[in-house]
């Protein structure tokens, strides 16, 4: 080997060592988390973040240790929905301690975004690195549930997140409309290809305006559980806290979904 080849070989070994260290740190962190549940949809704006946040606060409200992780890199809205004002603290062991709100620990890519209006364009390897970094550096402590708000669609971003984060299962959010249904079929098929469990379908925005039933039909069509419908309500207009904490009716809906998610995870555990 000439000196250049030797240097290359050393660099390769060093990169492998770093990768190994990172993997070890991540599995150490994740070992303390009982269930990792992704919330996902084929298209944007169907209420993913709303479902993730309300599911998380409902589980916490009923006594579970819960964290929420926002990996919707292009559009990290969890911080706003959870009303988190402070960035994570850094512990003595140089790990980030997620701020806690409504009984839920919150970590988001949005903490590291300079300007809220700025659109971030990420590519596969960058997403992979950013998620790894975030997973490696966060000290969640012991959690019963980590709810993960995923980017919508079937592009690079959600795929990379799914491959990087070893999740126990997914909740798919859809609307009572036909178009969402087609998107949802596509996304569920994609998830199935990655061999990740689909825990079931939630229909959001159910009611007079958009109708109801598409979620249930979709679940039946794909032979996966239907977890429940969430009505379109004015309660969501009050953004001072998640609707499940201000409306008994919303809390009841989310309790039903939480119960089903727990049941669907049981055989996985
Ligand atoms: N059941 C509901 N009733 C009334 N409003 C709702 C309901 N669910 C969600 N919303 C509202 O709809 C808007 C979009 O919801 P949300 O941000 O959760 O969607 P999303 O799927 O996360 O969007 P994105 O793809 O941009 O991340 C929000 O303003 C939210 O408050
Ligand atoms: Mg969202």
**What is the reported pLDDT for 118?**
63
**What is the reported pLDDT for 269?**
46
Check whether 258 has a pLDDT greater than 60: yes
Question: Which is the closest atom of ligand 1 to the Cα of 51?
Answer: 18
For the range 244-252, what are the long-range contacts, defined as Cβ-Cβ under 8 Å and sequence gap of 24 or more?
244/54, 244/57, 244/58, 244/61, 245/57, 245/61, 245/102, 250/54, 251/58, 251/61
| Å from CA of 184 to ligand 1 middle | 16
pLDDT digits (tens, 9 = 90+) for 229-245: 999 999 999 999 999 99
| Å from CA of 255 to ligand 2 middle | 21
| Å from CA of 21 to ligand 1 middle | 38
- Taking CA atoms only, the protein residue closest to ligand 1 atom 2 is 232
| Between 268 and 248, the higher pLDDT residue | 248
Structure tokens at 7: 């240097």
- Taking CA atoms only, the protein residue closest to ligand 1 atom 3 is 232
| Between 122 and 203, the higher pLDDT residue | 203
Give the lowest-confidence range in 44-48, 92-96, 113-117, 151-155.
113-117
| Å from CA of 2 to ligand 2 middle | 53
| Å from CA of 47 to ligand 1 middle | 4
Per-position b or e across 191-210, b if 16+ CB within 10 A of its CB: beeeebbbbbbbbbbbeeee
Q: Which ligand approaches the C-alpha of residue 46 most closely? A: 1
- What pTM value is reported for the model? 0.91
In terms of average pLDDT, the best of 15-29, 56-70, 143-157 is 56-70
- Taking CA atoms only, the protein residue closest to ligand 1 atom 10 is 47
**What is the reported pLDDT for 56?**
98
Check whether 268 has a pLDDT greater than 60: no
d(CA 217, CA 188) in angstroms, rounded, equals: 14
Question: How confident is residue 260, by pLDDT bands cut at 50, 70 and 90?
Answer: very high
**What is the reported pLDDT for 121?**
66
Check whether 267 has a pLDDT greater than 70: no
Beta pairing partners, 170:
38, 198
Ligand 1-lining residues (CB < 6 angstroms)? 41, 44-50, 72, 75, 77, 152, 204-205, 230, 232-233, 236
Mean pLDDT of 106-135: 77
Question: How confident is residue 120, by pLDDT bands cut at 50, 70 and 90?
Answer: low
| Å from CA of 145 to ligand 2 middle | 19
Check whether 123 has a pLDDT greater than 80: no
Surrounding residues of ion ligand 2, Cβ less than 5 A: 48-49, 77
pLDDT digits (tens, 9 = 90+) for 31-65: 899 999 999 988 888 999 999 999 999 999 999 99
Question: How confident is residue 6, by pLDDT bands cut at 50, 70 and 90?
Answer: very high
Q: Average pLDDT, whole number, for the chain?
A: 88
Going by C-alpha positions, the residue among 185, 237, 233 that lies closest to residue 205 is 233
């Amino acid at each position: 080997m000439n000196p250049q080849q030797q240097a290359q070989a050393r660099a390769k070994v060093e990169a492998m060592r770093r990768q190994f260290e990172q993997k070890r740190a991540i599995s150490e962190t994740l070992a303390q988390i009982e269930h990792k549940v992704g919330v996902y949809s084929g298209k944007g704006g169907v209420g993913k973040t709303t479902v993730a946040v309300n599911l998380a606060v409902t589980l916490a409200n009923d006594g579970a240790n819960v964290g929420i992780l926002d990996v919707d890199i292009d559009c990290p809205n969890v911080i706003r929905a959870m009303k988190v004002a402070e960035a994570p603290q850094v512990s003595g062991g140089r790990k980030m301690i997620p701020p806690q709100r409504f009984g839920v620990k919150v970590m988001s890519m949005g903490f590291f975004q300079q300007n809220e209006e700025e659109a971030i364009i990420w590519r596969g390897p960058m997403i992979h690195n950013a998620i790894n970094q975030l997973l490696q550096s966060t000290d969640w402590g012991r959690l019963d549930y980590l709810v993960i708000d995923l980017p919508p669609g079937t592009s690079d971003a959600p795929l990379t997140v799914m491959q990087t984060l070893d999740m126990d299962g997914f909740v798919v959010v859809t609307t009572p409309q036909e178009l969402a249904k087609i998107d949802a079929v596509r996304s569920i098929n994609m998830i199935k290809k990655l061999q990740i469990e689909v825990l079931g379908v939630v229909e959001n925005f159910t009611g007079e305006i958009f109708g109801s039933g598409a979620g249930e039909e979709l679940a039946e069509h794909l032979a996966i559980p239907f977890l429940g419908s969430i009505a379109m309500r004015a309660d969501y207009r009050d953004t001072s806290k998640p609707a499940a904490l201000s409306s008994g009716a919303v809390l009841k809906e989310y309790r039903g979904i939480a119960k089903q998610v727990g049941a669907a995870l049981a055989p996985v555990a």
